[in-house]
Amino acid sequence: MLRRASFVIFHLGTSNLGTLQINNSAILALFALLAFYLGYRFYSRYISDKIYGLDEEFNTPAHEFEDGVDFVPTKRHILFGHHFTSIAGAAPIIGPCIAAYWGWLPAILWVVLGTIFMGAVHDFGALVVSLKEKGRSIADITAAVINPRVRLMFLIFVMLLTWLVLAVFAMAIAGLFQAVPASVLPINIEIIIAIFIGYLIYKKRMDALIPSLIALGILYLFVWLGTHYPISLSSLGVSADNIQTTWIIFLFSYSAIASLLPVWLLLQPRDFINSHQLVVGLGLIFLGIFLTQPEVDAPAIRAVSDPGAPPIFPMLFVTIACGAISGFHGLVSSGTTSKQVEKLKDARLIGYGAMLGEGTLAVASTIAAVAGIALVSQCNLPSIGAVTDLNWNNYYDSWAHATTNKATAFVLGGGALLETLGLPHSLAKTLMAVLVISFAATTLDTATRIQRFIITEIGTAINVKQLTNRYIATFAAIIPAVILTLWSVPDPLTGTMRQTAWVLWPIFGASNQMLAALTLMVLTLYFFQRKKPILPLFIPMLFIMMITISALVVKIQSFANQGNNLLLGLTLLMTALILWMIVEGVLLVKSKLC
């Protein structure tokens, strides 16, 4: 049925029905939203009933281990908001903005089909298995599914990736605070508002909806105030050389404290507010798309001639990661969310539904990149500076410029769509910046909390009791990430000094997707042992493994040609670790079948 609906939408797009043309962005938006609706309505129910088995009477870890800090039974609409914003960081915005370089068709198809049949199934499954295994992380569960040796390898692999995520997101947020000082006031005032809302909901037992909507209104008031009264550290006496470092130290201090506070006091209410903000922001962007119907400025598929551009296969599938499938989401599902689910049946909305929300964000980002930027008249691009008449061709004139511009297409294109609704330019720009920073900040403190859990699990696995202390584990989670941001090394590609995390970042995309493949392997083996139909898990696992191993081979060749021995060595080590874990899984299946 989903396939038939997709055909109908594209048939309409190729027909000459008034303003409905193949290059009409409203057609792309309609196709994606309808596909997501059908995916949730039918495919998620099939997965739930046939494989995952959501028992009404199941006692969730939130009730079994309730401690008021990490294990907290939470109403599903609040937890949906918390989970949604925890997975919806900057990656589903940045990835599609870069991947639009190859044209709109592959980007849209991978986001839509990847989200429905892979990403949402992955997130949903990681959440369900963690719920059934007492809230343990998917890395920890591998001890029971495969063996303790693989568990330790998985935990170390996750820990290293999470340190890189923490470092890069802290630097990205610090850079945005420096570039858009109007965003500083609303982002930071939201922390105070969230604590107050958390107190009202959990201590005064108020219904969450009204206070959170009032909080959203207050947030938008401070967006307006921030636009008129921007806060810059330079005006407070901080030297230009120290601005980013100051913000990084502030952000890590905040994320450490937030990860130790009871989840109901800050993270849940702030993320609930952010989920409303995202829904409003996406609603306004899609309203602008449907009312303005901007032409798709990009070709369906680009004929690439840039020698510096990587091949579309397999690199498209790791460039758009979180917008289609992401291993980090499995860490959120099994690391923090599973400890807060009130009823097992809520997992379908939270796990599968939130990933559809992230896919919707990725669609909005793609449309902003392939159609919205044509509405921009004057701007400054990170790659080439001042532009008087922006269009897809000069934004994506080279792969180097596309990767340098990153999420700028979303901020500019999305802001232009908001302006078509009557919003002033400066306010639209601030709204888009606050939207991006809000979810990057959510990922930062959620990743810190996850890293604390991972380090605690490693401490248990290697019998180092000190690492099971929540304060020591938090310190261990933060310090290496701080070092990655403040320690600079020569970039083997350019020869210039860069922060270590940015130098290492090129290996993250493929590593993140391989983490998703390994999680799908654990899910496949878990339900195989319970004699459930596993093809909906096994096929995505094979596809993502094939894509990621191919991407790693491309990376190895690229790093070898550049003489980049640091990234070459790390990629070879990571590839060997991945292949070892795959072999362990194959040996387990062989032993079960023999």
**Predicted confidence (pLDDT) per residue in 301-324, tens digit:** 988 778 878 889 888 998 898 889
Percent of the chain with pLDDT over 90: 35
How close are the terminal C-alpha atoms of the chain, in Å? 39
Domain total in the chain: 1
Residue 422, classified by CB atoms within 10 Å of its CB into exposed (0-12), middle (13-18) or buried (19+), is: exposed
Average pLDDT of span 219-240: 86
Structure tokens at 238: 């901080």
Q: Residue 478 pLDDT more than 90?
A: yes
**pLDDT score at 20:** 38
What is the band of 114 on the pLDDT scale with cuts at 50, 70, 90? very high
Nearest to 270 by CA among 255, 248, 285: 255
Give 454's contacts (C-beta < 8 A, 6+ positions apart). 137, 139, 155, 158, 159, 162, 331, 335
Give 429's contacts (C-beta < 8 A, 6+ positions apart). 180, 182, 411, 415
Nearest to 361 by CA among 291, 278, 294: 278
Q: Residue 17 pLDDT more than 60?
A: no
Distance CA 294, CA 315 (A): 28
Among 166-180, 186-200, 374-388, 512-526, the minimum mean pLDDT is found in 374-388
What is the band of 493 on the pLDDT scale with cuts at 50, 70, 90? low
Q: Residue 420 pLDDT more than 50?
A: yes
**pLDDT score at 7:** 39
Structure tokens at 220: 């938008």
Structure tokens at 300: 């369906």
Average pLDDT of span 549-562: 85
Average pLDDT of span 62-83: 90
Structure tokens at 32: 């994606």
**pLDDT score at 492:** 64
What is the band of 244 on the pLDDT scale with cuts at 50, 70, 90? confident
Which residues on neighbouring strands pair with residue 74, listed in sequence order?
341
Distance CA 92, CA 103 (A): 17
Distance CA 166, CA 588 (A): 34
| pTM, rounded to two decimals | 0.88
Which tens digits make up the pLDDT trace of 557-579?
Answer: 888 887 778 788 888 888 888 88
What is the band of 490 on the pLDDT scale with cuts at 50, 70, 90? confident
Structure tokens at 484: 């990655």
Distance CA 273, CA 219 (A): 9
CATH number at residue 239: 1.20.1740.10
Q: Angle between the 354-370 and 120-132 helix axes, to the nearest 10 degrees?
A: 160
Distance CA 334, CA 519 (A): 11
- In Å, what is the CA distance from 3 to each residue of 103, 122, 367, 428, 539? 22, 21, 22, 37, 18
What is the band of 22 on the pLDDT scale with cuts at 50, 70, 90? low
Among 128-137, 307-316, 490-499, the minimum mean pLDDT is found in 490-499
Distance CA 518, CA 544 (A): 9
What is the band of 49 on the pLDDT scale with cuts at 50, 70, 90? very high
Q: Residue 16 pLDDT more than 60?
A: no
Q: Which long-range contacts (CB under 8 A, 24 or more apart) does 53-56 make?
A: 53/532, 54/128, 54/344, 54/345, 54/347, 54/348, 55/344, 56/343, 56/344, 56/345
Average pLDDT, the chain: 86
What is the band of 128 on the pLDDT scale with cuts at 50, 70, 90? very high
**pLDDT score at 203:** 83
Which of residues 139 and 240 earns the better pLDDT score? 139
Which tens digits make up the pLDDT trace of 283-300?
Answer: 999 999 999 998 898 899
**pLDDT score at 495:** 67
**pLDDT score at 355:** 96
Question: Highest mean pLDDT: which of 72-81, 221-230, 530-539, 576-585?
Answer: 530-539
Distance CA 268, CA 449 (A): 13
Residue numbers of the domain that contains 12: 2-593
**pLDDT score at 501:** 80
**pLDDT score at 350:** 96
Nearest to 252 by CA among 559, 483, 591: 483
